[in-house]
Amino acid sequence: MNAHLYIGKQDSDEMWDCSSIMTNASWYTSIVTGQAGKLNFTLVEDSTACSPDFGNQVRLDVSGKTLFIGYIFTISEPSQSGTRDYLAYDQTRYLKNPAYYVFKNRTGSDIFRAVCADNGLKTGLIEECSFAREVHICDGKSGWEFLNECIDDELTSKGNYFTFYDAVGEMTWVTLESLRTDIMIGEESLLQDYTLSRSIDEDTFNNIIVHQENVEKIKVEGKKKKVKKTTTVDVVVSEITATDIKEAKDNKTSVITKIMPSSFPKWGKLSKIETTQNLKNEAEMKERGAMIFYLKNRPIVKLPLKCIGNINLRAGNGIYVSLPKKNVKGDYVILSCTHNIVDDLHTMDLEIDSSGVYSV
């Protein structure tokens, strides 16, 4: 493994080559809301002119491939070590800025372009969404939270799972399907250690309540006044499949049936309320409930993996995991990925998810 660290000089297009004084580096990516891509690294203090400062650009290359481009946000100086620790973020860090928008009939892709432009962020590949709210308001939320609402809308309405990230200097908005790889991780491929746990305690639901809020203008004593009229539908669905949802979407029919899910006797009633102001009628509300049920009516599998490093993997990528001894076999999405580089050793820590988004 050959790692090189470069840091931009102040007021110059030149860069310091800090590879010889870098003792370790850790590159982290995540598709969890608010988790910006970041690089932690340590440099030995020396007498050269290398003096990184806030805002300096940082680039990490491993085996000839650029993995990270970002900017220094934190500098720490331990008193006894003779080293300095640095923290640099990629462009997604700037999506933590608060935002104020009103969009009408705009898709998540349109909103992503606008948010990036407002924050001065360079964009790259942007795949197109198909769902658009009639009105979508952001009143002081972070740009990150606002974009995540767009991702949730597209997933629960159309079954398309999008994500965004900084691809070495270019903000990218794509489906998880586009990020699938043919890389396998298992007991004979890259894997060093793992811990397997399953739970229905955090994000598992088998009773979906779609709560629709409509705002109507009515006359009160000769004046128009906004009054919130609420329609609530309690959606209880049967065990449905991706094929059921696809057929319903193609035929424009509902997949809802008033049959108790088979998980009820085993798990009890686990409810989730989905509040929306953007669906036109009860049929659309039921379709939204069906999609959420399909995504949430399953145990959550947590499977942290410790692996030999592979520079082609980052958060959002799809991998195939095979652990025959634990009866684990199938497609997984990387929720977070940490590449650890110490001297000539390159390892990875992966958090993965088996949410089934590929089959929606």
At residue 224, does pLDDT exceed 60? Answer: no
Considering the chain, what is the average pLDDT of its residues? 85
At residue 4, does pLDDT exceed 90? Answer: yes
Element (H, E) at 250: helix 242-251
> Considering the chain, what percentage of its residues have pLDDT values greater than 70?
82
* Whether the model pTM is above 0.85: no
Selected residue with higher pLDDT from 216 and 302: 302
b/e code 312-324 from CB counts within 10 Å (16+ = b)? ebbbbbbbbbebe
Among 25-39, 109-123, 256-270, name the one with the lowest average pLDDT: 256-270
pLDDT of residue 255: 46
Q: What is the DSSP letter of 178?
A: G
Q: Is 125 exposed, middle or buried (0-12, 13-18, 19+ CB in 10 A)?
A: exposed
pLDDT of residue 249: 56
At residue 132, does pLDDT exceed 90? Answer: yes
The tokens of 112 are what? 């992503």
1-20: average pLDDT: 88
CA–CA distance, 330 with 77 (Å, rounded to integer): 45
Using pLDDT thresholds of 50, 70 and 90, give the confidence band for residue 215: low
Strand 271-276 and strand 207-220: the pairing is parallel
Most confident of 42-56, 210-224, 268-282: 42-56
pLDDT of residue 78: 82
pLDDT of residue 257: 41
For residue 26, how many C-alpha atoms fall within 13 Å in the half-sphere facing its CB?
11
For 68-106, what is each residue's pLDDT tens digit? 999 999 999 887 778 999 999 999 999 999 989 999 999
Most confident of 1-10, 206-215, 250-259, 336-345: 336-345
For residue 121, how many C-alpha atoms fall within 13 Å in the half-sphere facing its CB?
31
Using pLDDT thresholds of 50, 70 and 90, give the confidence band for residue 236: low
At residue 359, does pLDDT exceed 80? Answer: no
pLDDT of residue 259: 43
12-35: average pLDDT: 91
Using pLDDT thresholds of 50, 70 and 90, give the confidence band for residue 323: very high
What phi and psi values does residue 10 have, to the nearest 5 degrees?
-65, 135
**Residue 37 CB partners (closer than 8 Å, separation 6+):** 27, 28, 29, 30, 68, 70, 89, 90, 92, 165, 166
The tokens of 215 are what? 């705002």
At residue 248, does pLDDT exceed 80? Answer: no
At residue 198, does pLDDT exceed 90? Answer: no
pLDDT of residue 13: 82
Contact by Cβ (8 Å): 213, 224? no
Among 35-49, 191-205, 283-297, name the one with the lowest average pLDDT: 283-297
At residue 358, does pLDDT exceed 90? Answer: no
At residue 7, does pLDDT exceed 60? Answer: yes
Secondary structure (3-state) at 249: helix
The tokens of 64 are what? 């000839």
For 261-287, what is each residue's pLDDT tens digit? 678 788 888 888 877 766 667 777 777
Question: Residue 286 is which amino acid?
Answer: K
The tokens of 305 are what? 């993996």
